[in-house]
Structure 1
Amino acid sequence: MDTALVWFRNNLRVQDNSSLSNAIASGKRVIGLYSFDPRQFQIGDFGFKKTEKYRAQFLIETVQNLKKNLNNLNITLIVTHEHPEITIPELIDQHNISEIYSQKEWASEENEVTLAVEKKLSNVKHHTYYDQFLFHPEDIPFDTFGDIPQVFTQFRKKCEKEGSVQPLQEKIEALPSKNLLDEESDMPNLQELGLDTFIKDQRSAFPWKGGEDEAWNRLNDYFWNTKKLQYYKKTRNGLVGEDYSSKLSAWLANGSISARQIYWEVKKFENEIISNQDTYWLIFELIWRDYFKYVSLKHGNDLFKIGGILNKEYDWKRNDKAEREWINGNTTYDFVNANMIELKETGWMSNRGRQNVASFWAKEQQQDWRVGAAYFESMLIDYDVHSNWANWMYNAGVGNDPRDRKFNIKRQQEMYDGNGKFVRLWTQNELF
């Protein structure tokens, strides 16, 4: 039977998924693949595993949920712990695959995997889709990626005025049951990925599991059950607890939910409940996320170079003792320490925390900012290649910050943790 393969990457959802929708529209039998690529669990250039236990566990949960949701549509998801360029040619032979559908990924490591797969393809079409944006590349008011402004505000205002957000794709319904393969594949566990098992820290501000279902549970709770969305801007710089921000970034990062889905849900909330600065601010943050993806498309590998997109030269240092103190929360700042301990123990850190610990590392310690970016890549549950590396460039003064600011960390602590609750929680083991 002529078969279409959906190669899932960072688009781990069933609904509003261009790859899946187009594969189904082809009229062929549809099967899915997710590869736990061993390269993603190896030690990178700066001495950290590319993916540590927190995000790996979240990813396992996400793929389990994807498998269940695809199964409900009578689509089989094959899961491997192998390089895609090895698995995909084998599947092509086994299942008479004539077309592959995937989300377009362009950062260098992801692109290398794409090219390695495509080298092995003959007489098989590979369709890719820009599916991780709020404003699709076809709908932004810039002729080329080279025209993307160096300053966010210019990008935002032009997109808000002249851009448009595409409607959601039609809901996917179940295929005939004969589409299912009689095939089981094993989901790797943390130990099989070379990682340690762990028990979730009860202090975590991010206690949720991975997957499309959990993403929608969280969104429905934050938007519709508690209606906390209407206070988002006022609370988003919080540090303690589940509800100071939407916390949707982790599901967005691996594509369990799309930026479009969140946008249209905000619009629905604005129509039915309230439209204010707070509801707008969540969309504002989605535009920031888009912006860093476009910065990445414009500048390519400069995101990962020490001079960043500005090619600026600083006297960056590389000190193992400073690195250990930063990672373990043994610096001279309680506020930095609490945030770094939270990251180490949970895989999560607030937006406010991230700005401060990055400013400390890059601006005060003048340590190679890429070490910090690589550590975040390893540890963060919500790691996204474009947001992480572009934010680190921004904080290090080699990116898109026109003011090249440095945080006054003591002042930040007074403003955002004046009562000391957050610092005590992570430095004195205080429970909620």
Structure 2
Amino acid sequence: MSLAVVSGRAPFACFVSALHPCGRRSFRRALGMYRKMLLPRDRTAEDLEGKGTVILWFRNDLRLHDNATLTMANTGSALLPVYVFDPRLFGSESGKSQLWGFSKTGPIRTRFLVESVENLRKNLMSLQSKLIVRVGKPEEVIAELARSVQSENNPVTVMASKEAAFEERRVEHRLTRNLLEIEGPSGPPELKLAWEGTLHHLRDLPFNPKNTTPPVFTQYRKIIEVSASVRPELPSLTKLKPLPSVEVDAGTMPTLDSLTDEVQPPEDERSVLKFKGGEDAALERIDNWIWKQDLLRKYKEIRNGSGTAEFSSKLSSWLALGCISPRRVHANVKKYEEERVADENTYWLIFELITRDFFRWMMVKEDTRLFAWKGYSQLANLGQRHRGGSSGGTSWGAARDLDFAKVPASDEDIQNLAKWIKGETGVPFVDAGMRELRATGFMSNRLRQNVASFLIHDLAFPDWRAGAEYFESALIDHDVAANYGNWAYIAGVGSDPQGGRRFNMVLQAQTYDGDATFTKLWCPELKQIPGGMCHQIFKMDDSELEEYGVRLGKDYPRSIAQVKDFKYGKKDVNPGGGKQFDSRNNRGPHGQKRDKGRKRR
């Protein structure tokens, strides 16, 4: 099955009528008002024509191809590309997550980012331009650059891509305020923003994302596939406007040690792929995986596997930083369908891009509620119980709201969180995934769902956001909307009409790593256990394990989960992979009595 995109007024009107009983006219008026609010300074390229120097502030759009922000910025008289490493995002005390204290950008993701910026600098130089690199707060650094390059006959405009998350928007607002303090020949420098990062453009959506993004993905997908089209890629630029006449020092690339105080782990030979940051590596990956290896042909069949580079496209790391555009991926899929085959495999890669967009629009709609303990699901908010906790110092400006505070956790909870992070839970499939993540910054999508379910449901950790914050630090492909949206989904407080997903670890391991090749790769202590028997290590007694050189508690940890939670050999009762999580009972993050009757080893 190939993706069908239908254009025209009839389908649009149909869905508008269904979603907005007030009628199309009121809806379009409201939609237009919202888009102006979300993108107050979104302009066309013609608006910058001949208007002096444009400072192009690169953010999560680190590429030259199909870059709307670059295309618009290149219409000024001069162009000054800039990237700013914000110390608030790295391993110092200011760069720690607000609740559980993880580095917002861990060492592996930091390395990938530095590589991506270095590659951008190289590619800009090939077009006779250069990238100004600074370390500091962007709202201060960009304003100071605007002040330094502005002159009586040279007005300055700052151009950047628009971000949807709260902290990034706050930086935009502070930069706007700082620019207003600069006197210019035609008034203060202006910050202009372009929408980037999604497959479907904001202005092409058949609904108001602020108010009426469908709360369930299936509803969203059906609307998008019928009533929205993907814009064609923008032509690649072969020439950039000259640098401003005022000389600006290019700056040196920061070292990893200067950005983060965490130790950079050595490259692990078990990594499924040598992830190299930058546009060049992204384009090489899509060329190899889709065209040379012809792996798109069986994508749906193999995408849930772990342990090799072939199982999935693994483009998410480059998409997260904008080293490749989702439209470039989409264009390659459509070309593949025309030249080779169009079926459910090709559709499924587009499906993944649509899913990625969905979480972005949900973040636009829910804003800071994406980071709330009780989440944004209507189901999750039914019968929500009051809880205690410290409300100090949240990033979202909601310190008085306990739902944004850190949830109290017992000493046992904290110990189990540490074991989960290190891959020492005693559950082989979970441990393998967590060890891979810690060593390489990558983990398959299927394993992400499993380890999240394990922390939330099997370990009953009181705050699902601890897992989300650790993923934010560790994953090289971290995307704030997708990461927190998926964790909320598993916890039953996000976009899931079934109230959460609990996965059966044994069944999942048997299904996606039946012979335990991946598990034993990362848990070599278990390599002597025949086949996939290690997935059911809980059923083996100590004497049997010793025959295979395994002593629980010495060679490999005993399980810290409740053994009876594993239902061996039974099929999952829902697509999520096991017993459903219900926010209205005493299980998981919403139950005051979650410890009642719980036993652990």
Q: Same fold (TM over 0.5)?
A: yes
Instruction: Give the residue type in structure 2 aligned to 1:21.
Output: T
Match of 1:423 in 2: 519
CA contact (8 A) 2:464 2:488 kept: yes
| Residue 463 (structure 2) pairs with residue 396 (structure 1) | no
Match of 2:355 in 1: 288
Distance in 1 separating the partners of 2:209 and 2:359: 15
Deviations 1:376-428 (A, max 9, x none): 00000000000000000001110011122210111000101110101100011
Following superposition, the deviation at residue 98 of structure 1 comes to 1.3
Q: 1:373 aligns with which of 468, 485, 493?
A: 468
Distance in 2 separating the partners of 1:373 and 1:139: 31
Following superposition, the deviation at residue 178 of structure 1 comes to 6.1
Q: 2:67 aligns with which of 17, 20, 23?
A: 17
Following superposition, the deviation at residue 365 of structure 1 comes to 1.6
Q: 1:322 aligns with which of 416, 423, 430?
A: 416
CA contact (8 A) 1:230 1:279 kept: yes
Match of 2:212 in 1: 147
CA contact (8 A) 2:119 2:280 kept: yes
Distance in 1 separating the partners of 2:208 and 2:72: 26
Paired residues in the alignment total 429
TM-score (ref. length: structure 1) = 0.96
Q: 1:362 to 1:67 in 2, by over 3 A?
A: same
The 5 Å alignment of 1:237-276 reads 237-276=304-343
Match of 1:40 in 2: 89
CA contact (8 A) 1:75 1:179 kept: no
Q: 1:124 aligns with which of 189, 198, 204?
A: 189
Q: 1:275 to 1:87 in 2, by over 3 A?
A: same
Higher helix share: 1
Distance in 1 separating the partners of 2:443 and 2:273: 9
Following superposition, the deviation at residue 184 of structure 1 comes to 2.9
CA contact (8 A) 1:206 1:348 kept: no
Q: 1:57 aligns with which of 111, 133, 153?
A: 111
Q: Alignment identity in percent?
A: 41
| Residue 279 (structure 2) pairs with residue 212 (structure 1) | yes
The secondary structure found in structure 2 opposite 1:207 is coil
Distance in 2 separating the partners of 1:52 and 1:143: 35
CA contact (8 A) 1:235 1:244 kept: yes
Following superposition, the deviation at residue 129 of structure 1 comes to 1.4
The secondary structure found in structure 2 opposite 1:33 is strand
Deviations 1:40-91 (A, max 9, x none): 0111121100001111000000000001111112222111111112211211
Q: 1:353 aligns with which of 447, 455, 460?
A: 447
Distance in 1 separating the partners of 2:349 and 2:232: 18
Distance in 2 separating the partners of 1:189 and 1:415: 43
The secondary structure found in structure 2 opposite 1:308 is coil
Distance in 2 separating the partners of 1:289 and 1:252: 10
Farther off after superposition, 400-409 or 410-419: 400-409
Deviations 1:324-378 (A, max 9, x none): 1111111131111111111111111111110000001112222110000000000
| Residue 294 (structure 2) pairs with residue 227 (structure 1) | yes
Match of 1:159 in 2: 224
Farther off after superposition, 409-418 or 195-204: 195-204
Instruction: Give the residue type in structure 2 aligned to 1:390.
Output: G
Distance in 2 separating the partners of 1:114 and 1:179: 23
Q: 1:253 to 1:178 in 2, by over 3 A?
A: closer
Match of 1:168 in 2: 233
TM-score (ref. length: structure 2) = 0.69
Distance in 2 separating the partners of 1:387 and 1:107: 11
Deviations 1:122-157 (A, max 9, x none): 211211111111111111111343111111011111
The secondary structure found in structure 1 opposite 2:296 is helix
Bigger-Rg structure (1/2): 2
Distance in 1 separating the partners of 2:451 and 2:194: 35
Following superposition, the deviation at residue 8 of structure 1 comes to 0.7
The secondary structure found in structure 1 opposite 2:354 is helix
